[in-house]
A and B are shown apart, each in its own frame.
Chain A
Amino acid sequence: MIYLEKKDFKVIIDLLFGSQSEGFVNLHSLILIIGMMFIVEISKEAGLFQFTALNLIKLSKGKPVYLMSIFCLITIVISAILNNILTVIILIPLTITVSRILNVNPSPYILTQAILVNIGGTFFSISSIPNILISTYANISFVEFFLNVGTVSLIIFVFTLILFIFIFKKSLQVPQEGITILMEFNVWNFVPNKKLLFKSLISLIALFTFFIIIPSSLISTDILALLVAVVLIIISRLDARQIISKIDFELIFYLLGIFVIAGALDLLGVVQVLGESMAHISGGSVFFQILIILWFSSFLSSAIDNIPITKVLIPVISTITSNFPSVGKQFYYSLAIGANWGDNLTPLGDNILVVQLAEANKRPISFRQFFKIGFLTTLYQIILVSIYYTLIFETSTGIIIVIVITVCLLMIYLLNKLGPKGIRVGIGKGVNGIRKLFGA
């Protein structure tokens, strides 16, 4: 204390944030995260997410494939706004409740949701902490991020949905009686106050509109988020202390710690060495470099939390980018995808929470099954992204790969429909084998 008194409060600020010259802490990221936390907390309080989710579920009218598709769609929409943990906290109990009414097994829906939260997490620059860290560091605008990462996520989402429907098709059956009862579920029961619901909905729409129409060079995204958060706090007329008490300060301090550690690694030259060796491995090829970043970051984030991974890899990517001046921000996009999606390769992190939530709601799911489907689906997704990058950077090779895969699938389909009985039986066995492999 005497030391601090003599040195004045600058020491504390330096300890927390690092010195200004070192630029350890990116305050833009922190402000954006805090602003989003307020908006999300009030919208959650207003029941906006459950209200929207159940309304969409009712739209399925009990058709199993529609229901599966809607569950998946809800997951990515909600996780595009909320962080993964909040998304599963809201969605898993809701899914189990709906399954109780519909008289169906919730396991396929829970498993798919747990995997898809990561895809939703790469939709927008504000969808997850790694995205916020990347976009604020590399100065990637909201629209730019969506066009380069969000659209890829959307494409991969469609392919993942097709895979899930293929895997779980047999177990997706909804009794008609359940649907009639689900229609009696009053969705307004999630809403404490209609006015608050509309206010938070309008605020979210306004926020996204601002992100799209206001260039970040004019007003940065963090200031926009903070502005909307302040307005929403005022117009919601909720007790500000109550909202503040629900803000995840633990995460803010965790981030501060990560910022300082990453800054220290940068200062010690570790980042430089890592960046140069990664650039060396690729042999000067942008395409290979992107694939290395994608696979490296995804496997790394499967073992360690994706926030520190991203924070440490951002300056590494910056070093690599300096070796490839023509490539622009592609390496950062690849990092965003790898860091967000790699999470499901192992059943750690928020996946443990999913298992716990399912158990708490008396619908336990097998950890082994979760691991199997999580690992295989993530591999499938990363392979698809790799094909996508092949199409962009090595177009002719990419086209050949796509043609070969399409022809193979088409042949399997035709043989299954028109081929001799022996082959059809063989294909049937193969299909069942794939389903079993995924744990269905």
Chain B
Amino acid sequence: MVFKNISRIKSALPEVKHIVMFYNNGTIFQTTFEQSINIPKLGENLAGTLNHIRSLYEICNYKMEPYRKLIFETEDISVIILKLGEDSNIALFFEREEDKELRLYAIRRYISKIENLIDMKEEQLVLEEILTKEKELEKVRNLFQVNQEKVQQIIEKLKIIDKNENLEESKQLEKQLISLNEDSSKLEKEINTIQEAISQLRQNIEKQTL
């Protein structure tokens, strides 16, 4: 899937000589460079370049917003590093051609596809957790509902039974009622805990998006 997108980028921009997809820790996911070059060092240096720029911002007291691209042009070769996902980047090595502007917009589509493939955002992770919690909440709510219905049934039965005649049965029903009420209060507590966890996760997402 990633390979397909790489070849699409290359056909959309024939002047692209090489592509490197790398993470901020320097790990290279894929590259069109041959294995004869030192690939781990390439990743280390690309990640290092981004780190240097980050330090530069810090020194100048600029707030480092998530970057979009970094361009380095020389006479023959130009390098553009584009931000892919939360922690991933793509470096494009171009052969410089006179009077030709880079048509980066032509490859944006493929880049966003690659981003979704190789780098899941933390927000996505939190969203999935929220979904799991919501499913859990629904289950507990159903259990609570069933419990409440049982409680109601027992209350009804207790109303009907003559306590003097069916003493044993009424005692048993009362016992059941107590244990069901205990279960209900536990389930209620669990519902509250899950709801709190969900709202906490939602707050986390809001913080991240801000």
Footprint of B on A, CB under 8 Å? Answer: 47, 50, 93-94, 97, 99-101, 103, 105, 177, 180-181, 184-186, 188-194, 361-363
What separation, in Å, do the CA atoms of A192 and B44 have in the docked complex? Answer: 11
Determine the chain B residues whose CB is within 8 A of the CB of A181 once the complex forms: 1-2, 117-118
Encode B20-31 as 1/0 by CB contact (under 8 A) with A: 000111011111
Determine the chain A residues whose CB is within 8 A of the CB of B118 once the complex forms: 100-101, 181
Q: Assess whether A97 is in contact with B27, with CB atoms less than 8 Å apart.
A: yes
> Does B74 belong to the interface (CB within 8 Å)?
no
Chain B interface extent, by class: 20 to 34
Q: Assess whether B27 is in contact with A105, with CB atoms less than 8 Å apart.
A: no
Question: Knowing A184-B3, A191-B40 touch, does A363 contact B23 (C-beta < 8 A)?
Answer: no
What separation, in Å, do the CA atoms of A100 and B123 have in the docked complex? Answer: 12
Question: Knowing A97-B27, A181-B117 touch, does A190 contact B40 (C-beta < 8 A)?
Answer: yes
Q: Assess whether A361 is in contact with B25, with CB atoms less than 8 Å apart.
A: yes
* Count: A-B pairs, CB below 8 Å: 74
Q: Assess whether A185 is in contact with B29, with CB atoms less than 8 Å apart.
A: yes
Footprint of A on B, CB under 8 Å? Answer: 1-3, 23-25, 27-31, 35, 38-41, 43, 85-88, 117-120, 122, 124-125, 128-129
Determine the chain A residues whose CB is within 8 A of the CB of B122 once the complex forms: 362-363
CB proximity of B197 to chain A, nearest CB, Å = 12
Question: Knowing A103-B120, A184-B2, A184-B3 touch, does A193 contact B38 (C-beta < 8 A)?
Answer: yes
CB proximity of A54 to chain B, nearest CB, Å = 10
Q: Assess whether A362 is in contact with B129, with CB atoms less than 8 Å apart.
A: no
Determine the chain B residues whose CB is within 8 A of the CB of A193 once the complex forms: 38
- The contact of A194 among B1, B35, B119, B129, by CB within 8 Å, is B35
CB proximity of B6 to chain A, nearest CB, Å = 10
- The contact of B27 among A99, A188, A189, A362, by CB within 8 Å, is A189
CB proximity of A105 to chain B, nearest CB, Å = 6
Q: Assess whether A105 is in contact with B129, with CB atoms less than 8 Å apart.
A: yes
CB proximity of A271 to chain B, nearest CB, Å = 45
Question: Knowing A100-B23, A362-B122 touch, does A189 contact B39 (C-beta < 8 A)?
Answer: yes
